[in-house]
Amino acid sequence: MARVTVEDCIEKVDNRFELVLLSSHRARMLAAGAPLTVDRDRDKNPVVALREIADATVSPEDLKEDLIHSLQKYVEVDEPEPDAVPMIASAGGDRDDDVALDRMSEEDLLRGLEGLKPPEDTDEDDGM
């Protein structure tokens, strides 16, 4: 790499390590078929990437965001917030008619538990 190219890039990206990460990511993008923003002049992809950063034809911030997204394994999806749960009034106070409480008697609970099967023992529980 030409020293002039690297020194021109340091004005755009202060940290040399970050410059290496960004330029190598851009070089991989060029190898994958991304369009060039400067003339190639028989240069290889790493030199072209550095020239693009030095000439400010690609934004270092955009490269950084793209690099971060390319390294992420799990993309966080913003899910809508659940609707607010209506407040239940105290037992002695007035209750709203649209709030229905499910009530189960002790006998219903015992009848439901009788139908359940106990968990089977496995070899892992024995320590073997």
Phi, psi at 47, each rounded to 5°: -70, -40
Instruction: Round the average pLDDT of the chain to a whole number and report it.
Output: 80
Per-residue DSSP letter, 34: P
Confidence of residue 48 (pLDDT cuts 50, 70, 90): very high
Supply the pLDDT for residue 102. Answer: 72
CA-CA distance, 25 to 47, in Å (whole number)?
A: 12
| pTM, to two decimals | 0.55
CA 86 to chain centre: 33
The span from the CA of 64 to the CA of 28, in Å, is 14
pLDDT over 90 at 21, yes or no: yes
pLDDT value for 27:
95
Instruction: Report whether pLDDT(61) > 60.
Output: yes
